[in-house]
Structure 1
Amino acid sequence: MSNSFKELEDLKSVSVGIDNDEKGYIDKQCPSEECEFLFKVNNDDWLNIFKDEAVWCPMCRHEAPSDQWFTIAQIEHAQKETLTVVEGLLGKAFSNMTRNFNQGQSKNSFVSISMKYKGSNSRTFTIPAKAAEAMELDIKCEKCHSRFSVLGSAFFCPACGHNSVTQTFSDSLRKIKAKIDNIDVVRKALTTASSKDEAELTCRSLQETCISDGVVAFQKLCEGLYEAYGKAPFNAFQRLEQGSELWEKAIKKGYADWLTSDQITKLNILFQKRHLLAHNEGIVDEKYITKSGDSVYKVGQRIVVSPNDIESLLAILKKLSEGLIEGCGVV
């Protein structure tokens, strides 16, 4: 009888495989309960570039050993597969025991005893966890060259923890564009769920935050790129004239080398609008008119941020950032 259970007794662990998606990526999830960010890593890079002692979350930079990055779905699948295998081995053991018992009975015996086992014929092998659908944003770390993919945004490389200022800036522009492209969808949904008044307040706020998001993203990009040349004065890159002068000294090129005079004028107005929204609730004062040169408004009015403003901001910042990145020799 003991031989019937030998396979079960010898079982030390159950190995459950994980399938790649169609691009060769495997699913991972941040083990931090506050984050639980889902992402994917290239399977070859996971084996050859990632280190066992530390992996970083692309969203929050939580750090943990490589064996802690299984997804919740993978863990649940592995638990079910393990239970299935154990049930299968138990069923196989009882079936063998029943067969051996019946074979051991003498056919010439006056009293005939037989045994039947009505149990599960579950699998004794595991099925790999299926991969989730491929994610849309594929990223290659500029430092360690590992490949990973996410939905939305990523701020850190999961293989080395590197924060790419160019990747972060690119993601910021994508988020701003997503906001402005979906304003009508948000307005319609909020009008249905709440009221027209709340829908308009929310959509106006979304448009205005796009200005702030763009200025801050550009400031962070410049600060990151400028580190190779020294430490910039506090908030210098929120001021276009001062920022341009810093770059002229550092790389011999200023904003006028990449932008037309009309684009610089427009960008200055948008930067000043952002300052007004942040510090004066958007109410025009003499300082705004003097610094922006904006003749559309009078003192006491409140500025309006239009979708065209956001589109202009995105286009100008993209052109300016490409020039800066090239000028700094960043690949």
Structure 2
Amino acid sequence: MWNKRGIRMPESAEVVSHHGDEFQIDVSMPLDEDGYLGRQCPECSMSFRMNGEDYKALLDKLELWCVYCGQHQAHSEFMTDQQRERMLRAAGDLGTQIVSQALGDVFRGFSRGSSHPSSVSLSISYKEKPYYPRPLPGIDEERLARVRTCAGCQVRYAVFDEHRFCPVCGLLPAVLVAFDALQAETARLNALNAVPNEAKAVLREQGVYTRSWVDTIENVVGVVEGLASSVFKAAVTDAADRLRGKGNVFQRLDDMADLFVATGYGDVRGILGPESWQRLVETWAARHVFTHNDGIVDEKYLRKVPTSSAQVGRRLVISEASCRRAVEDSTSLCTALAELTVGY
């Protein structure tokens, strides 16, 4: 379109103001086919999306959080590479025409004058031509992988990796982070099952399946530990005093349960029942063996799991089924921990 100075801008770009040598242009950014706008963190360079309608409703001076690393800056800093290329193309079109107009002004005011008898006269000519900007580059991004709605601000956003922050509210609640992590473990187990049979044989021979199952056992313990710590510290005013000298109490199941009971809260062992709790004890014992002893069974493991057929000095064998049970039991425990302090 044309503005007052005769500048022609491509579709979706417009010169909205001009003061002296300063121009302001607006360049619209198309949404993806699901109606989401791409955002890219200026710190970690990872991308996420925000619902276009929700984004427009936000304040102009809004600061965003990177959903992955937590970088907190003005929303204009979260431009994606494709959006930046689109913006620079529009700015380049404007700059080309400004330079062209400036040259035209120079040559319109140029007078040849007379040449000195002992000098050689050279001439230069310049002809202005209409400028026709090329269409702006489009935005071509991968399909949405996972859409979330923040329980706090209700903003809809999409992520492509493990995340810890809402783009508007910031740090997510610990319980949401925990359940996301447990769902990710199930998704990984499902993905390994979906591998073609030929590839499965290679992965199994190289120990990938066993290593992944071990990782699941270690990860679920870490998830419960993180949530229990967050819930306790949020609910107990003198948490620091009660935790002093207890070491990593949230990594020890019965000690963690006793800590909540001693503070006046319910006993998660009773909430889950003896069978579920014993399976969790076995999972925690297996995690200790793999983390600290490369999976070699010791006396401590057998004291925790007296019904085990494993023997001291041999390597513990785990299975996909045991990992899935560990995820289910840990999900039940996280649910109990999240509800433990409700109403107190």
271, 283, 287: which is aligned to 1:258? 271
1:101 is matched with which residue? none
1:291 is matched with which residue? 304
CA change 1:164–1:186 in 2 (3 A) is: farther
Which blocks of at least 5 consecutive residues in structure 2 are unaligned? 9-17, 104-126
Q: Distance in 2 between matches of 1:13 and 1:53?
A: 20
Which blocks of at least 5 consecutive residues in structure 1 are unaligned? 95-115
CA deviation after TM superposition for structure 1 residue 177, in Å: 1.4
CA deviation after TM superposition for structure 1 residue 93, in Å: 12
Q: Distance in 2 between matches of 1:243 and 1:29?
A: 40
- For the pair 1:182 / 2:191, whether they are aligned, the reply is yes
SS at match of 2:157: strand
SS at match of 1:15: strand
Q: Distance in 2 between matches of 1:298 and 1:52?
A: 64
2:115 is matched with which residue? none
CA deviation after TM superposition for structure 1 residue 279, in Å: 0.9
10, 14, 37: which is aligned to 2:46? 37
Q: Distance in 2 between matches of 1:160 and 1:5?
A: 42
2:68 is matched with which residue? 59
CA change 1:251–1:163 in 2 (3 A) is: farther
CA deviation after TM superposition for structure 1 residue 188, in Å: 4.7
2:231 is matched with which residue? 225
CA deviation after TM superposition for structure 1 residue 132, in Å: 3.6
CA deviation after TM superposition for structure 1 residue 21, in Å: 3.8
TM-score w.r.t. the length of structure 1 is 0.76
1:97 is matched with which residue? none
> CA offsets per residue over residues 178-203 of structure 1, 9 Å max, x none?
22222242985486xxxx48853232
149-158 or 212-221, larger mean C-alpha shift? 149-158
CA change 1:199–1:182 in 2 (3 A) is: farther
CA deviation after TM superposition for structure 1 residue 285, in Å: 1.1
11-20 or 60-69, larger mean C-alpha shift? 11-20
1:209 is matched with which residue? 215
- For the pair 1:172 / 2:181, whether they are aligned, the reply is yes
Give the alignment's Cα RMSD to 1 decimal.
3.6
More strand, by proportion: 2
> CA offsets per residue over residues 223-265 of structure 1, 9 Å max, x none?
1111121244432222221122223344632223332321111
258-267 or 212-221, larger mean C-alpha shift? 258-267
| Alpha carbons 2:70, 2:171 under 8 Å: kept | no
CA deviation after TM superposition for structure 1 residue 278, in Å: 0.8
Query: What amino acid is the match of 2:305?
Result: S
CA change 1:13–1:307 in 2 (3 A) is: same
> CA offsets per residue over residues 47-77 of structure 1, 9 Å max, x none?
5556736322111112222220011111112
Query: What amino acid is the match of 1:19?
Result: P
Q: Distance in 2 between matches of 1:57 and 1:73?
A: 18
| Alpha carbons 2:265, 2:341 under 8 Å: kept | no
Q: Distance in 2 between matches of 1:187 and 1:238?
A: 37
CA deviation after TM superposition for structure 1 residue 130, in Å: 3.9
- For the pair 1:304 / 2:317, whether they are aligned, the reply is yes
CA change 1:296–1:69 in 2 (3 A) is: same
1:68 is matched with which residue? 77
TM-score w.r.t. the length of structure 2 is 0.74
247-256 or 260-269, larger mean C-alpha shift? 247-256
16-25 or 70-79, larger mean C-alpha shift? 16-25
Q: Distance in 1 between matches of 2:339 and 2:297?
A: 37
CA deviation after TM superposition for structure 1 residue 86, in Å: 6.0
CA change 1:47–1:118 in 2 (3 A) is: closer
SS at match of 1:154: coil
305-314 or 74-83, larger mean C-alpha shift? 74-83
SS at match of 1:138: strand
CA change 1:50–1:214 in 2 (3 A) is: farther
Query: What amino acid is the match of 1:58?
Result: V
15-24 or 210-219, larger mean C-alpha shift? 15-24
